[in-house]
């Protein structure tokens, strides 16, 4: 063994809910653990026990482990030690803490994806409370927000997070690394009830096919029956051109997202608030998604301080046919939900249409009409979608029609 000292985790003044471990393998002297913890009085003993347990799990008998703890919860400490161990020892063994009951829920192909909150995969501090802001989805990011030399430790943090941190019903998403590197991420995710994988910089159906083969392999190994859903992210000119091919390659592809920072860079232009430069790409992607009957999801809005601009942005996005948007700050979630929600006059119109449809069906009429106007089936379908959305957002009650008829 040439390299006998390894480190993992984060330290520094601003670091919270994380820890930094230094592991030095020795030839003799047993296990020594040195701890400096912000919560030593309350959890010092528990931390030492955990350190001993992880080292024992990997059969390490002589080592000096230094734990610099800023209030990390056990699953983070364990991930950090495992990351250090794996730099020094060649092993496939994985150290697991409990997979909590609360995390054994599933997502469906058809569900709202208005908001998805990005969390950097190697920064535990934001993960504990991400779910309380009630985004539709939470993305643990292994790609751009993780430094190249931290990819491996981030995989372990993300894996442990999927097992042990409650997201309170949000769809459990991970953005893997760009193809083909992203293939290496899968074994840390697929066995741990990841609902959806975001596939960055996707440029062709073949990438998705290869990814799915690998996913199937892991699912078989772990006897997993449920599908892993996919949301490819289109971030290049080539990706845009291949949007429909990607959207329709597999029934597990349930949405396409667009990533505008990389896309505009690929075009050699600048991203502007007016977004004229990406108009073609966005409409092309919306069209590809609708053709493949999947959801079209917009890029993130990066000015986290300007909620009014965000609101405008979402309205424009919704107008183009997008059904969701990324968030990089929890305060964006509510604005995005409110802005994707149907507006009062939209709901009122939809009530009239759906009521006329029910009325016509009850009376055995083949044609739906409102006043003197005939209503086409797609209009009815859209109205039904609006009503269902309004009900699910709590904007109207499930018995809206009773009230509606009373007011007629």
Partner 1 sequence: MGQKYSNLVKNAVGRMVPTEVNGQKQVPYQGVGKYKPDARKFGPRISSCADFPEDGNKQVASLKVALVKAGLKDGMTITTHHHFRNGDLVANQIFDIAKELGVKGLRWVPSASFPCHEHLIQYLEDGTIHHIEGSMNGPLGRFASYGNMKGMGILRSHGGRYQAIQDGELQIDITVIGAACADSFGNANGLFGPSASGLLGFALADSQYADKVIVVTDNMVPFPCSPWQIQGNYVDYTVQIDKVGIPEKIISGTTQITKSPDRLLLAEMTAQFCLEAGIIKDGFSFQSGAGGTSLAVGNYFAKIMREKNIKARFARGGSNKYLVDMLNEGLIEYILDGQTFDLDGVKSMAENPNHVWTSPFTSYNYHGKGNFAGLVDVVILGATEVDVNFNANVVTHSDGLLLHGIGGWQNCLFSKTVVLPIPLFRDRIPVILDEVTTICGPGELIDVIVTERGIAINPKRKDLIEKLKDSNLPIKTIQELKEEAEKICGKPAKPEFDDELVAVIKWVDGTIIDSVRKVKS
Cα distance between residue 235 and residue 257, in whole Å: 9
3-class state of residue 196 by DSSP: strand
Choice between 191 and 330, CB closer to partner 1: 330
Question: 40-54 in b/e burial notation, b at 16+ Cβ within 10 A?
Answer: eeebeeebbebbeeb
Of 43-51, 107-115, 143-151, 239-247: span binding partner 1 (CB under 8 A): 43-51
- The answer to whether residue 73 forms part of the interface with partner 1 (CB under 8 A) is yes
H or E element that contains 36: strand 31-37
Choice between 5 and 100, CB closer to partner 1: 100
Choice between 128 and 218, CB closer to partner 1: 128
3-class state of residue 220 by DSSP: helix
Instruction: Decide: residue 28, CB within 10 A, 0-12 exposed, 13-18 middle, 19+ buried.
Output: exposed
- The answer to whether residue 17 forms part of the interface with partner 1 (CB under 8 A) is yes
Of positions 31, 44, 163, 265, contacts partner 1 by CB under 8 A = 44
Of 24-32, 200-208, 265-273, 323-331: span binding partner 1 (CB under 8 A): 323-331
Cα distance between residue 5 and residue 43, in whole Å: 26
Shortest distance in whole angstroms from residue 16 CB to partner 1: 5
Of positions 113, 133, 187, 318, contacts partner 1 by CB under 8 A = 133
- The answer to whether residue 303 forms part of the interface with partner 1 (CB under 8 A) is no
Cα distance between residue 326 and residue 336, in whole Å: 9
Choice between 54 and 353, CB closer to partner 1: 54
Handedness of CA 159, 189, 289, 387 (dihedral sign): negative
- What string marks each residue from 387 to 406 as x (binds partner 1 by CB under 8 A) or -? -------x------------
Of positions 16, 109, 152, 401, contacts partner 1 by CB under 8 A = 16
Choice between 101 and 108, CB closer to partner 1: 101
Virtual torsion, Cα 300, 305, 307, 309, nearest 10 deg: -70
- The answer to whether residue 276 forms part of the interface with partner 1 (CB under 8 A) is no
Shortest distance in whole angstroms from residue 179 CB to partner 1: 33
- The answer to whether residue 42 forms part of the interface with partner 1 (CB under 8 A) is yes
Choice between 72 and 246, CB closer to partner 1: 72
Choice between 40 and 306, CB closer to partner 1: 40
Virtual torsion, Cα 391, 396, 398, 401, nearest 10 deg: -130
Contacts of 47 (CB under 8 A, 6+ apart): 35, 37, 40, 67, 69, 77
- The answer to whether residue 207 forms part of the interface with partner 1 (CB under 8 A) is no
Nearest to 232 by CA among 169, 187, 294, 320: 294
Is residue 231 a contact partner of residue 297, using CB atoms and an 8 Å limit? yes
- The answer to whether residue 46 forms part of the interface with partner 1 (CB under 8 A) is yes
- The answer to whether residue 10 forms part of the interface with partner 1 (CB under 8 A) is no
Choice between 5 and 46, CB closer to partner 1: 46
Nearest to 128 by CA among 141, 115, 136, 138: 138
The whole-angstrom distance between residue 381's C-alpha and the CA centroid of its chain comes to: 29
With residues binned 3-state (H G I as helix, E B as strand, rest as coil), the percentages for the chain, rounded to 5, are 45, 20, 35
Shortest distance in whole angstroms from residue 202 CB to partner 1: 30
Is residue 114 a contact partner of residue 81, using CB atoms and an 8 Å limit? no
Choice between 129 and 272, CB closer to partner 1: 129
Choice between 73 and 260, CB closer to partner 1: 73
Cα distance between residue 326 and residue 135, in whole Å: 10
Any idea how long the chain is? 408
Of 72-80, 84-92, 253-261, 368-376: span binding partner 1 (CB under 8 A): 72-80
- The answer to whether residue 43 forms part of the interface with partner 1 (CB under 8 A) is yes
- The answer to whether residue 161 forms part of the interface with partner 1 (CB under 8 A) is no
Of 125-133, 154-162, 177-185, 209-217: span binding partner 1 (CB under 8 A): 125-133
Of positions 71, 204, 224, 382, contacts partner 1 by CB under 8 A = 71
- Contact residues toward partner 1 (CB under 8 A) are 16-17, 38-46, 70-74, 100, 128-129, 132-133, 166, 329-331, 394
């Amino acid at each position: 063994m040439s390299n006998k000292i390894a480190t993992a985790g984060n330290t520094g003044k601003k670091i919270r809910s994380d820890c930094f471990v230094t592991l030095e393998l020795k030839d003799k002297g047993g296990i020594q653990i040195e701890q400096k913890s912000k919560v030593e009085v309350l959890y010092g003993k528990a931390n030492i026990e955990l350190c001993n347990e992880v080292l024992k799990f990997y059969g390490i008998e002589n080592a000096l482990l230094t734990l610099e703890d800023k209030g990390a919860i056990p699953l983070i400490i364990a991930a950090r030690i495992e990351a250090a161990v794996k730099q020094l020892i060649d092993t496939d063994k994985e150290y697991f803490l409990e997979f909590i009951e609360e995390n054994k829920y599933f997502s469906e192909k058809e569900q709202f994806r208005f908001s998805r909150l990005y969390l950097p995969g190697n920064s535990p501090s934001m993960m504990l409370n991400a779910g309380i802001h009630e985004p539709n989805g939470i993305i643990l990011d292994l790609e751009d927000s993780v430094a190249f030399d931290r990819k491996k430790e981030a995989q372990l943090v993300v894996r442990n997070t999927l097992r042990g941190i409650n997201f309170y019903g949000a769809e459990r998403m991970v953005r893997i690394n760009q193809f083909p590197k992203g293939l290496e991420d899968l074994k840390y995710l697929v066995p741990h009830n990841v609902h959806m994988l975001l596939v960055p910089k996707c440029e062709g159906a073949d990438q998705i096919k290869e990814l799915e083969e690998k996913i199937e392999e892991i699912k078989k190994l772990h006897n997993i029956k449920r599908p892993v859903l996919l949301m490819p992210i289109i971030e290049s000119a080539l990706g845009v051109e291949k949007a429909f091919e990607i959207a329709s390659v597999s029934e597990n592809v349930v949405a396409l997202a667009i990533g505008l920072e990389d896309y505009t860079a690929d075009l050699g232009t600048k991203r502007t608030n007016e977004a004229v430069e990406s108009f073609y790409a966005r409409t092309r992607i919306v069209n590809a998604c609708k053709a493949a009957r999947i959801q079209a999801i917009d890029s993130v809005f990066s000015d986290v301080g300007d909620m009014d601009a965000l609101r405008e942005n979402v309205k424009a996005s919704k107008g183009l046919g997008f059904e969701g948007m990324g968030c990089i700050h929890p305060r964006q979630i509510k604005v995005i939900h409110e802005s994707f929600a149907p507006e009062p006059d939209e709901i009122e119109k939809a009530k009239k249409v759906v009521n006329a449809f029910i009325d016509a069906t009850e009376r055995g009429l083949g044609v739906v009409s409102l006043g003197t106007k005939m209503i086409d089936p797609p209009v009815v379908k859209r109205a039904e979608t609006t009503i269902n959305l309004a009900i699910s957002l709590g904007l109207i009650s499930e018995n809206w029609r009773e009230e509606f008829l009373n007011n007629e």
